[in-house]
Amino acid sequence: VKKIAVLTSGGDAPGMNAALRAVVRTANHYNIECFGVREGYNGLIHDDFTKMGPRSVKNIIGAGGTILRSARSLEFKTKEGRQKAYDNCLKHGIDGLVCIGGDGTFTGAKIFNEEFGIKVIGVPGTIDNDIFGTDNTIGYDTALNTAMEAIDKIRDTATSHNRVFFVEVMGRDAGFIALNSGLATGAVDILIPEKKDSIEDLFATFERAEKAGKSSSIVVVAEGEKLGSIYDLAKATKAGFPDYDIRVAILGHIQRGGSPSCADRVLASRLGFGAVTGLMEGKTNVMAGLQSNTLVFTPFEEAIKKHNEINQELMLLSEILAI
């Protein structure tokens, strides 16, 4: 490869900038020209390319968000949009593309590669950790720590007022953030979409907690939980335990912001490097990931469709330790 382009797409995640920096500087190291594309696939379509060198990514390793900006492009979902994107890649002589994002980003990248043959490598950047082929996605560790710190703060007020808090964390259809932040904060129960939950089980947990002498509790709920919305759950609990003083807190987008953790900066640096060297080795239609501390490439098809299993041991542990 002689000229590559790099973009960030989908929901932003802490560490995207660190990955971008690694792509740009690795390209520079191997004498590959590098263009940044603004606002994800929209920038490919609207010819928003900018030449990048080592100094264009100075001081961004610790910055949250993405300096290239991000978007979930509807136009790229159309054949016409992708044709325009390809024409712009041709115009700039791009022969390799690095797409930093989540499963939506990889779905677009896969179609683009299959339609036009342009070499594409993905770098998993999403707080949800819902991508197969990497132990952790970029941004997940930082989001976990943000959620943990926020829940710790909620714990202070829950304890002071003898309250029950239902706290919703992000993760789309995955419960990784909920399970790990819940375990780390001693949540009395953790409700995630991967586990079949029932109101009866939740009530049994509260009864057990009461018997154990608990005077306040935190229930962490994944946003994708199937049992009901966090408000439904709080309402049902109030009906079952009228004496409880219940509050709901939805952590929301604070989980997507902030300076990336050390683990995310290192992961992003390794995967950004891996994406460029992968392109140089002729790899395409794959995602760079880190499994057991080793760089691996997984076909987009698998990365999108398969799922990392929820760790059953962690689930059991959270139940044993919460009482």
Q: Are 222 and 182 in contact (CB under 8 A)?
A: no
Helices 140-161 & 176-185 angle (0-180, nearest 10): 50
Residue 128 appears among annotated catalytic residues: yes
Place of tokens 């029932």: 198
Binding mask 113-132 for ligand F6P (x = CB under 6 A): -------------xxx----
Comparison of 76 and 86: residue with beta carbon closer to ligand F6P: 76
List, in sequence order, the alpha helices (H) in 120-257. 140-161, 176-185, 199-211, 230-240
Q: In terms of DSSP bridges, do strands 286-291 and 294-299 run parallel, antiparallel, or are they unpaired?
A: antiparallel
Tell whether 247 is in a known binding site: yes
In the list 77, 84, 92, 172, the residue contacting ligand F6P (rule: CB under 6 A) is: 172
In the list 110, 155, 195, 256, the residue contacting ligand F6P (rule: CB under 6 A) is: 256
Q: Of the candidates 56, 256, 189, which has an alpha carbon nearest to the alpha carbon of residue 178?
A: 189
Q: Are 8 and 254 in contact (CB under 8 A)?
A: no
Comparison of 110 and 256: residue with beta carbon closer to ligand F6P: 256
User: What residue type is 145 in one-letter code?
Assistant: N
**Number of residues near ligand F6P (by CB under 6 A):** 10
Select the span of 165-173, 193-201, 225-233, 295-303 touching ligand F6P (CB under 6 A). 165-173
Tell whether 127 is in a known binding site: yes
Tell whether 38 is in a known binding site: no
Select the span of 151-159, 168-176, 188-196, 273-281 touching ligand F6P (CB under 6 A). 168-176
> Is 170 a residue that touches ligand F6P (CB under 6 A)?
yes
Tell whether 256 is in a known binding site: yes
Segment 8 to 27, residues that bind ligand F6P, using CB under 6 A: 11
User: What residue type is 249 in one-letter code?
Assistant: A
Closest contact distance (angstroms) between CB of 68 and ligand F6P is: 17
Q: What is the DSSP string of 52-112?
A: --GGGGTT-TT--S-TT-----SGGGSHHHHHHHHHHHHHHT--EEEEEE-HHHHHHHHHH
Tell whether 25 is in a known binding site: yes
Segment 33 to 62, residues that bind ligand F6P, using CB under 6 A: none
* Residue 3, beta-bridge partner list: 33
> Is 108 a residue that touches ligand F6P (CB under 6 A)?
no
Active-site pick, 12, 48, 128, 141: 128
Closest contact distance (angstroms) between CB of 172 and ligand F6P is: 4
How many residues are present in the chain? Answer: 323
Comparison of 20 and 138: residue with beta carbon closer to ligand F6P: 138
Closest contact distance (angstroms) between CB of 211 and ligand F6P is: 35
Tell me the C-alpha to C-alpha distance, in Å, between residue 104 and each of 107, 206, 280, 304. Answer: 5, 38, 25, 8
Tell whether 229 is in a known binding site: no
Comparison of 181 and 284: residue with beta carbon closer to ligand F6P: 181
Sheet strand arrangement including 294-299: 49-51, 33-37, 3-8, 96-101, 120-124, 286-291, 294-299
Comparison of 170 and 220: residue with beta carbon closer to ligand F6P: 170
Tell whether 214 is in a known binding site: yes
> Is 102 a residue that touches ligand F6P (CB under 6 A)?
yes
Tell whether 217 is in a known binding site: no
Q: Of the candidates 315, 295, 290, 313, which has an alpha carbon nearest to the alpha carbon of residue 140?
A: 290
Closest contact distance (angstroms) between CB of 223 and ligand F6P is: 6
- Residues engaged in binding ligand F6P (CB under 6 A): 11, 102, 126-128, 170-172, 223, 256
Binding positions for ATP are: 11, 72-73, 102-105
| Catalytic annotation, residues | 128
